[in-house]
A and B are shown apart, each in its own frame.
Chain A
Amino acid sequence: DTAVSQTPKYLVTQMGNDKSIKCEQNLGHDTMYWYKQDSKKFLKIMFSYNNKELIINETVPNRFSPKSPDKAHLNLHINSLELGDSAVYFCASSETSGGGDTQYFGPGTRLTVL
């Protein structure tokens, strides 16, 4: 009955590979997000997405692309992985895209690029 789930929990891969991280929420929320947490634990938003629009943080390389097959899922695809992509990636969801809405976070996916 996990509210926001992510798979896999750990992902170890070689530079240059393409990988995906899956996210699912069972809260019936309209908006989902991806965040990146770096080695100093700093969290930065990468994308927000609802059934109307995708908003991309302009600092995110275009090797990263979110894909949403339906309202409950927002997967993250990463092409041509680089060493600097190593981080913990968190998925989150909120009821709407309103600024005061609580965001519910998944457990995170630790990506290690060798």
Chain B
Amino acid sequence: AQSVTQLDSHVSVSEGTPVLLRCNYSSSYSPSLFWYVQHPNKGLQLLLKYTSAATLVKGINGFEAEFKKSETSFHLTKPSAHMSDAAEYFCVVSSRPYSGGGADGLTFGKGTHLIIQP
């Protein structure tokens, strides 16, 4: 079994200030973790993913996330917010081993709506 908890449904920051979006997970296996972004009326775009390599993962558009096994966390950060970062962000966990697939392979968090104040 696996689950994802995004601790904030909404986060509001001023342009140019740091962004922190929090995510905790639980998993029976060694997980793969993802962050996806969804801009209004658009599909989902991968920001970054962790698959048991380096614990600090760098993604697109200046985002990064750190996998902390002891805290079961995978928080997303960005040093300086831009107006174009305003969107819905989803933390996703996949616990299925590479040997198989399945409909329960990906579990999405409920999303964090990021608001950027000018």
Which B residues contact A (CB, under 8 angstroms)? 29, 32, 34, 36, 38, 42-46, 49, 51-52, 88, 90, 94-106, 108, 110-111
Which A residues contact B (CB, under 8 angstroms)? 4, 31, 33, 40-48, 50, 53, 55-57, 90, 92, 96-100, 102-108
Interface of B is mostly: loop
Q: A98-B96, A99-B32, A99-B95 are in contact. Are A46 and B103 (CB under 8 A)?
A: yes
- Which single member of A43, A46, A92, A97 contacts B100 (CB below 8 Å)? A97
Whole-angstrom distance between the alpha carbons of A103 and B100 in the complex? 15
**Across the two chains, which residue of chain A brings its CB closest to B105?**
A99
Is B98 a contact partner of A100 (Cβ separation < 8 A)? yes
**Across the two chains, which residue of chain A brings its CB closest to B102?**
A55
Most buried by A among B99, B108, B110: B108
- Which single member of A44, A56, A90 contacts B44 (CB below 8 Å)? A90
Is A43 a contact partner of B101 (Cβ separation < 8 A)? no
Between-chain CB contacts (< 8 Å), 26 pairs: A4-B43, A42-B110, A43-B44, A45-B104, A45-B106, A48-B105, A55-B102, A55-B103, A56-B103, A96-B101, A97-B96, A97-B101, A98-B98, A98-B99, A99-B96, A99-B97, A99-B105, A100-B52, A102-B46, A105-B36, A105-B43, A105-B44, A105-B45, A106-B43, A108-B42, A108-B43
